[in-house]
Amino acid sequence: MDGGDWGVYLTNDLGALASIGVDLQYKMAAVSSFSTLVILEIKLTHPRENGLPQSDESQAVYAIEDRMGEVLRASNENRYVGRKLSGGVVKFFFYTSTVGGLLASIKETAAQFPQYSFETRVISDANWSVYRQSLLPGGDDIQRVEDNKVLSSMIAHGDDGTHPRVVDHFAYFSTAEEQRKFAASILKYGFEVADQASIDDSARPWSVRFRRIDVPNQITAVTVKLTHLAAQFDGEYDGWECAVTPSATLPGK
């Protein structure tokens, strides 16, 4: 998934666990010249009980994805927008201006993975409705995507996010009164208010920076609650940050 603005999250899809990867760069507007959706479906050979792939088959999924990416980068006639793993099936989603060329690329890739059956569906979708309704995160999944982006960056710097540390959070409000009420409300959850300020030229100019010791790779349970809490005060939760400590530098490592 090179390039773009990719987010990954786990969600409930029609009662089944689903792992979704989606390119968020298209969330504001569809690309009208790519009006046809092609969905490539591949049935996993030995999925876990939850319908997601075993670790070895995950590598096969990534290899197929990478190979399709190499083929598609050779032309500017397709947009790879997402991947969904659920119910023992992986689906890849492509919008295209040349269906024949994309189907030929899929056939070429399939020949390199004979252990799998490649099935395709072609759908007219000029408004990118499937992308918006089946792939883009909504509700609490939006925060899960943002948390996973931070965690992925930490992992890339050698920090697996499994040890506790001080985590700073940020929220913004429309009025000083709502800022004050929110700052007071978070104290009962063990947070310390680090700073309250006003920022010019903003729809929500009143900020609160607050912190608590937490485990980063378990942070979404915290951030989802903070998102809802900030909304109660006409505010917006705006994410978190923490120190990055490569695992090799920790005591006992």
Give tens-digit pLDDT for 31-68. Answer: 889 999 999 999 999 999 999 999 999 999 999 999 99
Q: According to CATH, where is 3.30.70.970 located in the chain?
A: 140-249
Nearest to 135 by CA among 1, 6, 4, 33: 6
Q: According to CATH, where is 3.30.70.100 located in the chain?
A: 6-135
- pLDDT at position 71: 81
- pLDDT at position 252: 56
CA dihedral sign of residues 148, 231, 26, 129: positive
Q: Over the chain, what is the mean pLDDT?
A: 93
The domain over range 140-249 is classified in CATH as 3.30.70.970: yes
Q: What's the rounded mean pLDDT across residues 216-240?
A: 97
Query: ∠ at Cα 142 (123, 215), nearest 5°?
Result: 135
Query: ∠ at Cα 56 (250, 24), nearest 5°?
Result: 75
Bridge-partner residues for 92, per DSSP? 40, 83
What is the DSSP code (8-state) at residue 26? G
Q: What's the rounded mean pLDDT across residues 221-234?
A: 97
Question: Which residue type occupies 189?
Answer: Y
Q: What is the pTM of this model?
A: 0.84
Per CATH, which fold does 6-135 belong to? Alpha-Beta Plaits (3.30.70)
Report the percentage of the chain scoring pLDDT > 70.
Answer: 96
Higher pLDDT, 96 or 249: 96
